[in-house]
């Protein structure tokens, strides 16, 4: 009998992966990588135009779908997950990629900024896991990967709310991994350093606006924090995520894996 490996099957063939926040940046790179590995991919986002842009190269494949929902809206999110399951089957892989970043000195971090960081980065992750996990437990197999940040492993000045939300995600990852350790479900986080995305461009714009420095200077300082002296590429994060979802990673759970050129050890 011919095995899937001998037949050239892709490692995630017949798996349904859902990627909240998969419309741009790291999330879009993850969605593309999952698709290339054979998964059927559903992306969830708030911006239809961003979703359209992400989907363009894959329209003919028929293996990627888009759904509109805000991860902070539990009812809309539950409906989106239900629709995704109806379209592509049970959700076997969840990659939490939706997130926001805002900076401010701690004493200027008002309640609105603080709550927004927690609502999107932490609560949104919780809502997505609660929507996907029951089906994984029934099936006895699942992969949950959350895109956190090196800010979930160390502290950075002027982003206390963002750091707090990402640290909380790491704690959630470790606790949940233990809870489902015998259920065939692994739960991990990847923690990128400064990554070449639209979010980074916004950070650079903020630095230049507040300090008067050039964008080139600000970009150089951010890259210098990486011992490899470069910015992380979204595809590098996507590679780590896909490895955690692929055969051979079954014993990797409860981990927060830094993708940061050695910045965090």
Specify the length of the chain in residues: 265
Query: What are φ and ψ of residue 6, in 5° steps?
Result: -70, -30
Centroid of chain to Cα 140 = 23
The two structure tokens encoding residue 158: 């002027």
162 is catalytic: yes
CA atoms of 145 and 132, how far apart (whole Å): 12
- Judge contact between 44 and 68, C-beta under 8 A: yes
Name the residue among 117, 134, 234, 225 with its Cα closest to residue 169.
117
Half-sphere exposure of 52 (CA within 13 A, CB side): 3
Largest CA distance in the chain: 67
- The active-site residue, picked from 88, 162, 194, 243, is 162
Residues marked as catalytic: 162
């Amino acid at each position: 009998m011919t095995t899937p490996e001998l037949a050239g099957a892709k490692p995630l063939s017949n798996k349904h992966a859902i990627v909240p926040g998969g419309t741009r940046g790291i999330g879009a790179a993850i969605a593309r990588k999952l698709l290339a590995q054979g998964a059927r991919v559903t992306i969830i986002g708030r911006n239809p135009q961003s979703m359209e842009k992400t989907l363009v190269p894959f329209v003919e494949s028929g293996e990627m779908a888009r759904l509109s929902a805000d991860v902070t809206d539990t009812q809309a999110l539950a409906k989106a997950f239900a629709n995704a399951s109806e379209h592509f089957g049970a959700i076997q892989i969840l990659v939490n990629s939706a997130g926001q970043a805002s900076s401010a000195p701690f004493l200027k971090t008002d309640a609105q900024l603080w709550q927004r960081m927690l609502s999107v980065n932490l609560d949104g992750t919780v809502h997505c896991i609660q929507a996907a996990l029951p089906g994984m437990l029934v099936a006895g197999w699942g992969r949950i990967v959350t895109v956190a940040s090196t800010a979930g492993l160390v502290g950075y000045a002027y982003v206390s709310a963002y750091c707090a939300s990402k640290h909380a995600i790491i704690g959630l990852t470790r606790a949940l991994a233990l809870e489902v350790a015998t259920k065939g479900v692994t739960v991990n986080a990847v923690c990128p350093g400064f990554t070449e995305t639209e979010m980074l461009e916004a950070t650079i714009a903020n630095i230049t606006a507040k300090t008067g420095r050039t964008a080139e200077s600000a970009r150089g300082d951010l890259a210098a924090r990486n011992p490899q002296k470069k910015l992380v590429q979204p595809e590098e994060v996507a590679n780590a995520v896909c490895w955690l979802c692929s055969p051979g990673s079954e014993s990797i759970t409860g981990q927060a894996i830094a993708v940061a050129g050695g910045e965090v050890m």
